[in-house]
Amino acid sequence: MTTAAAPTAHGPDPGSATAPAPGPADAPAPPAPRRRQPPLDPRLVREVRAARRHVARTVVLGLVQAGCVIVTAVVIARLGSALLVDGVMPLATPELLLALVAALAVRAGTVLLEQATAHRAATAAISDLRARIVGHAARLGPRAGAGRGADLTALATTGIENLRPYLVGYVPQLLLSLTVTPLCLLTIALLDPLSAVIAVLTLPLVPLFMILVGKLTVGRSEKLLGDMRSLWSQLLDLTEGLPTLRALGREKGPEQTVRRLGDRHRASAMGSLKYAFLSSMVLELLATLCVALIAVSIGLRLVGGEMALLPALAVLVLAPEVYQPLRNVGAQYHASTDGLAAVGAAFAVLDEPIPADGARPAPDLHGAALALRGVSVRSRDGLAPQRAELTVRPGRVLALTGPSGAGKTTAAQVLLGLLEPEEGRAEIIAADGAVTAVHEVRRRSLWEQVAWLPQRPVLPPGTIRSVLAAARPDADQDALEAAAAATSLDTVIAERGWDADLGRSGRGISLGERQRLALARAVLSPAPLVVLDEPTAHLDGAAEQVVLELIAALRAAGRTVVVIAHRSRLVDAADDVARVEASR
């Protein structure tokens, strides 16, 4: 489906003017039941290459850090013992000082490398997941579970960013607790078995308190993510409808809704921060007390002459390192829950099955007809449309009419293979009379022959010239000017110039001017089938006449036009009229 850019292999290009927006009957998919997830999501590691490499690299760097910690503790113990017992100054053993400096430098370099690579890995993993979410949602179509508009936008932007603190903060500390903690504990056991026993007995207290704190925060991250996505959805809907509200003089009411949503989101976020600070304080105090138990035991034995100074110093240096990774894991627990919630939401979208593509090429629409046979599609309130019957004959104009919410746009989406109906089917009738179901053809081969203009045009950023030329890259200046003149876009160009910059979705020009630009792209497109969804919805009477003349010109050029219409003038200009009804 193209008026500016080629679509993807499985769906319309979401950045072009041809991408259909979800209809009013589109409903968000119900949230999946929350299941218990492991601290390190195996699917994230298995399916996201950047995350997998990050885990492997962090394990190697953790082993290097563990070796540096052990070397540092032993060297400090030997230097301290020689100084306090034998009176030998550290400078007298330069090889030990060099070993100490080298171990500290390697550890510092390892930590810096871990942090730097963690940020790069998080960025790569987020980009990978974001691209997969958006691409998968585009392939699912406008009414699938993932086609949730602003809700999906919130997940693919702010929501998926929760993976960054998870991959940068929580995952490295979790892996350090699996490398540094066991190796340091083993070294303590070799130096002083009693201290190792104390550490083994007190070490489970850290995860125990982590679990207790986790009981307080269970479900909070999912709730925070849900609140954020709800806030985004409603704010985006409100922003998109603000011009209409201003035109009706109703722009002063919705700020109460925005304030209420903001207060709910702020309360949820502050609650998460409260529990995060509480967990950090509890775990810090617990780790301090555990290290103090080991230190008191060593001190008493040193006073009684039951322990040598060298192993005592080494154990005292190593003891905090045993608890530090687990303590950091607990402090980063809120990051893990946020990250796992984002991973769960992302894979919930990616798990939604993509409709199977057909194997046969679509017939040439220059001489083929399209038809709906008893098509019904389920909506929030029933069926819209219900048992729709229509035939789009080549070279003619079909007006699709019906009350608001009857499923006119939905019927057009079924006709183009964007939706699968609950009942009935869509067909393509070739010039030789051969009938092919739409779901049996390759969608791309069909969409390449269609120019779609939704009610709210979706335009790529760029200049007016580049946006218009993208509909047909081989068009010369004369063709661009002819398309602009046919849609009254030439008046906009005369005022702003061909090189006027447009923002995302045509920001910088009015909605009516965007409509004219999208119509000009449809005129330039070589597609034999043009689908116009309320093309005069944002135009005045004079501009409406331009659209009527444009439809007549398209018909005269032998192109097939489907117009979703409410206005009687559009219906009167059509060769055929099909009415759809809904069942409530």
**What domain count does the chain have?**
2
- pTM metric for this prediction: 0.65
Q: Do residue 406 and residue 526 come from a single domain?
A: yes
pLDDT at 524: 87
Q: pLDDT confidence of 27, banded at 50, 70, 90?
A: very low
Domain membership flag for residue 318: yes
More confident site: 210 or 11: 210
Domain membership flag for residue 201: yes
Which CATH number do you get for residue 443? 3.40.50.300
- Statement: residue 147 has pLDDT above 70: no
Q: Do residue 346 and residue 375 come from a single domain?
A: no
Mean pLDDT in residue range 454-473 = 83
Residue 26, H or E segment: none
Q: pLDDT confidence of 10, banded at 50, 70, 90?
A: very low
**Distance (Å, whole) CA 572 – CA 548:** 10
Give the dihedral of Cα atoms 138, 139, 141, 142; nearest 10 deg. -10
Domain membership flag for residue 10: no
Domain membership flag for residue 377: yes
- Statement: residue 152 has pLDDT above 90: no
Per the CB < 8 A criterion, the answer to whether 427 and 463 are in contact is: no
- Statement: residue 405 has pLDDT above 70: yes
What angle separates helix 255-303 from helix 309-331, to the nearest 10 degrees?
Answer: 170
Between 4-18, 191-205, 257-271, the lowest mean confidence (pLDDT) is in: 4-18
More confident site: 86 or 370: 370
Q: Do residue 334 and residue 373 come from a single domain?
A: no
Q: Do residue 324 and residue 373 come from a single domain?
A: no
**Distance (Å, whole) CA 140 – CA 282:** 46
Between 53-62, 211-220, 457-466, the lowest mean confidence (pLDDT) is in: 211-220
Q: Comparing C-alpha atoms, which of 335, 336, 210, 219 is closest to residue 282?
A: 210
Domain membership flag for residue 314: yes
Domain membership flag for residue 11: no
Q: Do residue 344 and residue 382 come from a single domain?
A: no
Domain membership flag for residue 260: yes
Q: Do residue 263 and residue 412 come from a single domain?
A: no
Q: Do residue 264 and residue 378 come from a single domain?
A: no
- Integer CA distances (angstroms), 152 to 233, 342, 396, in order: 9, 12, 38
pLDDT at 190: 92
Q: pLDDT confidence of 6, banded at 50, 70, 90?
A: very low
What is the percent of the chain where pLDDT is above 90?
A: 20
CB atoms within 10 A of CB 387: 16
Determine the structural domain holding residue 269 and report its residue range.
42-350
**308-356, pLDDT tens digit by residue?**
889 999 999 999 988 888 878 877 776 777 788 888 888 888 888 887 7
pLDDT at 107: 92
Query: 108: which residues sit within 8 A by CB, 6+ positions away?
Result: none
**What residue type is assigned to position 61 of the chain?**
L
Q: Do residue 311 and residue 421 come from a single domain?
A: no
Q: pLDDT confidence of 18, banded at 50, 70, 90?
A: very low
Domain membership flag for residue 355: no
- Statement: residue 479 has pLDDT above 90: no
Mean pLDDT in residue range 526-555 = 82
- Statement: residue 2 has pLDDT above 60: no
pLDDT at 28: 39
More confident site: 40 or 399: 399
More confident site: 266 or 49: 49
> Residue 190 class from Cβ within 10 Å (0-12 exposed, 13-18 middle, 19+ buried)?
exposed
Q: pLDDT confidence of 397, banded at 50, 70, 90?
A: very high
Q: Do residue 273 and residue 143 come from a single domain?
A: yes
Which CATH number do you get for residue 76? 1.20.1560.10
**220-242, pLDDT tens digit by residue?**
656 666 666 666 666 666 766 66
- Statement: residue 504 has pLDDT above 90: no
Reduced to 3 states, what is the DSSP secondary structure of residue 111? helix
pLDDT at 428: 92
Q: Do residue 312 and residue 428 come from a single domain?
A: no
Q: Final residue of a domain: which of 318, 350, 382?
A: 350
Reduced to 3 states, what is the DSSP secondary structure of residue 187? helix
- Integer CA distances (angstroms), 158 to 229, 241, 269, in order: 9, 22, 14
Alpha helices, DSSP H only, in 332-368?
Answer: 333-350
Buried b (16+ CB within 10 A) or exposed e, 442-474: bbbebbbbbbbbbbbbbbbebebbebbbbbbee
- Statement: residue 5 has pLDDT above 60: no
Mean pLDDT in residue range 48-72 = 92
Q: Do residue 380 and residue 285 come from a single domain?
A: no
Between 121-135, 494-508, 525-539, the lowest mean confidence (pLDDT) is in: 494-508
Tokens standing for residue 118: 């963690």
Q: Do residue 314 and residue 461 come from a single domain?
A: no
Average pLDDT of the chain?
Answer: 81
pLDDT at 136: 85
Secondary structure of the chain: what % helix, strand, coil (to 5)?
60, 10, 30
